[in-house]
Amino acid sequence: MNLCGYYKESINEGVGVRSVLFISGCRHYCKGCFNPESWDFGLGEPFDRKRKLEIINEVKNNPLVDGITLCGGDPFFSASELTVFVDHFRKICPLKSVWAYSGFTFEEIKADDTMHELLKRCDVLIDGRFEQENKDLTLAFRGSRNQRVIDVPKSLASGEIHLISC
């Protein structure tokens, strides 16, 4: 698994100040994608143990950062590796939140055992492929009207999608 980008602090990929990890690799190939170079699974630097610990420690030691956001590419193509990373992150930073973006829908992720494991560790999911015909730059934290901002724990507990209004 590779990391094709990293922002120590951002206000664009979730509520509050977030550290954003861009995970390499995507097979959705959305027309109009804002980051098509990230489709390449080999792009960027190896997201190895050393780099993971550096990022976790940066987040832990920055009182301004509210949590991490997993972007891409699509992090759910690397769900098994990221599940281990998020577990470690949660141990070191238990009060920080985890947001994730995916071209998969909540329902698709939930139906796949490996992706579901990563989903269970997220607080918020922005789901759905970017759709050029539904592009709307006025939306918070997403690019097209079909995409949803989902409260993951509430949705998993109730079995119904709980949207977060932003």
Q: Is 79 left (phi over 0), alpha (psi -120 to 50) or beta?
A: alpha
- Rounded to whole angstroms, the Cα distance separating 11 from 112 reads 30
Residue 152 three-state SS: helix
CA distance 151 to 128: 15
The crossing angle, in degrees rounded to 10, of helices 49-60 and 79-92 is 40
Structure tokens at 159: 């079995």
Contact status, residue 123 vs residue 66, Cβ threshold 8 Å: no
For residue 125, pLDDT over 90 is answered with: yes
Q: Per-residue pLDDT tens for 134-154?
A: 999 999 999 999 999 999 999
Q: What is the pLDDT of residues 73-110, one digit of tens each?
A: 999 999 999 999 999 999 999 999 999 999 999 999 99
Using DSSP bridges, classify how beta strands 148-151 and 124-127 pair: parallel, antiparallel or unpaired.
Answer: antiparallel
pTM of full prediction above 0.85: yes
For the record, the structure tokens of 73 come out as 């590419």
* Helix residue ranges, H only, 39-165: 49-60, 79-92, 106-111, 113-119, 152-158
CB atoms near residue 76 (< 10 Å)? 27
